[in-house]
């Protein structure tokens, strides 16, 4: 079972990756946050824990 502490450690790793990728693409984390907020306002976020798994074509 994953504890909250374990999850926090993993989230820190994901955040570190995001910062590195932002740098590779010449973007600031503030720019990424702005785009994230715009997308969440337009299409919704993930706070409801509902995820799209598959789309049939």
Over residues 11-45, the pLDDT tens digits come to 999 999 999 999 999 999 899 999 999 999 998 88
Whether residue 20 lies inside any domain: the answer is yes
Whether residue 54 lies inside any domain: the answer is no
Whether residue 39 lies inside any domain: the answer is yes
Whether this prediction's pTM lies above 0.85 is answered by: no
Domain that holds residue 22: 4-43
Whether residue 51 lies inside any domain: the answer is no
**Which one, of 8, 2, 32, 34, lies nearest residue 19 by Cα?**
32
How many whole angstroms separate alpha carbon 31 and alpha carbon 10?
23
If residue 32 lies in a helix (H) or strand (E), which one and from where to where? Answer: helix 29-43
How many whole angstroms separate alpha carbon 30 and alpha carbon 41?
17
- Total domains, the chain: 1
Residue with tokens 């798994």, as numbered in its chain: 53
Whether residue 55 lies inside any domain: the answer is no
Whether residue 12 lies inside any domain: the answer is yes
How many whole angstroms separate alpha carbon 41 and alpha carbon 45?
8
Whether residue 36 lies inside any domain: the answer is yes
């Amino acid at each position: 079972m994953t504890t909250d502490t374990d999850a926090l450690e993993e989230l820190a790793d994901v955040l570190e990756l995001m910062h590195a990728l932002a740098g590779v693409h010449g973007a600031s984390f503030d720019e990424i946050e702005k785009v994230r907020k715009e997308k969440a306002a337009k299409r919704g976020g993930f706070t409801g824990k509902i995820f799209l798994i598959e789309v049939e074509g």
